[in-house]
Amino acid sequence: MIEEIARSRNGGREARSAEVEDPIDLVTSSEQVTQQFQVGSIESDMLEQVRAALQRIDDGTYGICIDCGRPIGEARLNAIPWTPYCLEDQEKHDRQEKEAPLLGS
């Protein structure tokens, strides 16, 4: 709040330039760029899962399903090393996403 008041006293120049550089405004202008943006968000989801997996290695819980606490199969970890779920729970989550696609939006 104090910072906003200080900025408006300076003519609000800083706040205005930050709005113009907002990347969301830039990508909504073209359909092609919007598609690239969607691909990018899928990639960042995966990145998020990889980061979480690295965190679990740090915590010593890597390879253990975060839902049921049972060990994730070795074959599954070889295929998807960053997966937080055992096969059973992954299937549950896949099913939930299909049944409630609007959840969380």
Where along the sequence are the contacts to Zn ion (CB under 5 A)? Answer: 65, 67-68, 86, 89
Residue with Cβ nearer Zn ion (3 or 74): 74
Q: Which string of DSSP letters, residue by residue, matches the chain?
A: -HHHHHHHHTTSHHHHHHHHT-HHHHHTT-HHHHHHHHHHHHHHHHHHHHHHHHHHHHHT-TTB-TTT-PBPPHHHHHH-TT--S-HHHHHHHHHHHHH-TTTT-
Residue with Cβ nearer Zn ion (27 or 64): 64
Q: Minimum CB separation from Zn ion for residue 19, in Å?
A: 44
Among all residues, whose Cβ is closest to Zn ion?
A: 65
Residue with Cβ nearer Zn ion (53 or 65): 65
Q: Minimum CB separation from Zn ion for residue 61, in Å?
A: 13
Q: Minimum CB separation from Zn ion for residue 90, in Å?
A: 8
Place of tokens 């049921």: 68
